[in-house]
Amino acid sequence: MTEPNPAAAASSPLAIIVLAAGKGTRMKSDLHKVLHPIAGRPMLLHLLASADALAPERCVVVAGHGREQLEQALGERAAIAVQDPQLGTAHAVQQAEAALSGFSGDVLILYGDVPFVSAETMRAMIDRLHGGDAPAVVVLGFEPADTLQYGRVIAEDGRIVKMVEHKDASEAERACRVCNSGLMAVRAADLFGLLARVGNDNAQGEYYLPDIVNIAIADGRACSVVVTADADEVAGINSRGELAEAEARWQQRRRARAMADGATLVAPETVWFAWDTAIGRDVTIEPNVWFGPGVTVADKVVIHGFSHLEGTTVGEGAQIGPFARLRPGANLARKVKVGNFVEVKNANLAEGAKANHLTYLGDADVGAGANIGAGTITCNYDGYFKYRTVIGERAFIGSNSALIAPVKIGADAIVAAGSAVSRDVAAGELRMVRAEQLIKPGWADRFHDAMKKKKAEKRG
């Protein structure tokens, strides 16, 4: 087999075609199949992130059903080509021709529902395309534990002899363990000419992309296969069950990496990471913790069980939970404590600030060393607009207090328990907002006596 030529590949421009025109009927969903998330990120965006490592000059997503959803998700990131009607995979790739007008480099053909093809595998395909034998097409193969109904790649020393669908394969061909993933690398100069020659004389009456390999071979051109060692890398996702399996595989790998990088996961199988979760060293994560997108956790943090974090930054040595919820915009500095049943949203807690119990801090700035008592809430919304609460350094907010924003509590101020504060509190001031207590000596004794007598008479 001729060796790949990475240097030649690196000098050639690259385009990506992603096929995403399928209806995804097995998902039974109004959401486009390739937009279903894994680890909080649409599967299509997982794939494009890997492709970005190869710095493609152009990216085309072939859409059909749910085109509007894809346009909204992709924005300017990719051109959209439309396949309508849908007449097979070769026909789908043809729809990208206009978007690649004038492009003369390499083309990588990917599938939106095969999200975890690595950049290394993509690069290996492109490198092989630039081997000394100049293959017309490079196919990505894999060897699953069960070959099922996959098409086969019949090859000798990496050079393809024949591509055959399972239903058309002989028993000897079905014994071949190298299956066709569907992913290909082709030069733009070859691709659309080969596609134009694909016919639909088959049981489904469709134009199949693998036929370009057989056409090129018939022309006397070499075609090659690159085999990935990880069958999961090319696993397609077509149903909710397969989506759950992909999520489980991704989470298992991410948990292993977190522990290898120095975090302690007390019950790894119960911790769920997002695609971009960043965890420091000597972090301890107790059971049943969930990370949404946008979370960064510094070193030596303890996250107690049943906590939920999303869109938040947690500083070194902080303690979270149990049963805490950190919502987007929550930024916790060093040594902050956010305890059980505390919710923080769009709020900054400076070093050493504490909110240990049953508290809501929304749209707030809490100074260093401030202590927020149990049951405290920042009343940040009047039904139309959000307002901010500012709590100074070392301020003490007594339990069951309501801070009615916009309001400022000065440094070292004390808000007495049970207060509803709607005006600013000066530094060092005590603010107590309570109704005057009414005292009636002996009233309770007389009440008990009267009720007991009444109850006894009723029984009699």
Q: Would you name the residues annotated as active-site residues?
A: 357
Distance in angstroms (rounded) separating the CA atoms of residues 113 and 323: 35
Q: Give the distance from CA 190 to its chain's centroid.
A: 36
Task: Answer yes or no: are the C-beta atoms of 296 and 273 closer than 8 Å.
Answer: no
DSSP 59-73: EEEEEBTBHHHHHHH
Amino acid symbol at 311: G
Q: What is the rounded CA–CA span in Å between residue 80 and residue 42?
A: 17
Q: If DSSP codes are grouped into helix, strand and coil, which group holds residue 41?
A: strand
Rounded CA-CA distance 345/354 in Å is 15
The helix/strand/coil state of 337 is: strand
- The Cα 380–Cα 208 span in angstroms is 58
- For residue 319, the 8-state DSSP code is E
**What would the 3-class secondary structure string for 436-452 be?**
CCCCCCCHHHHHHHHHH
Please name the residue that has the structure tokens 């016919």.
199
For residues 112 and 92, the answer to whether their CB atoms sit within 8 Å is no
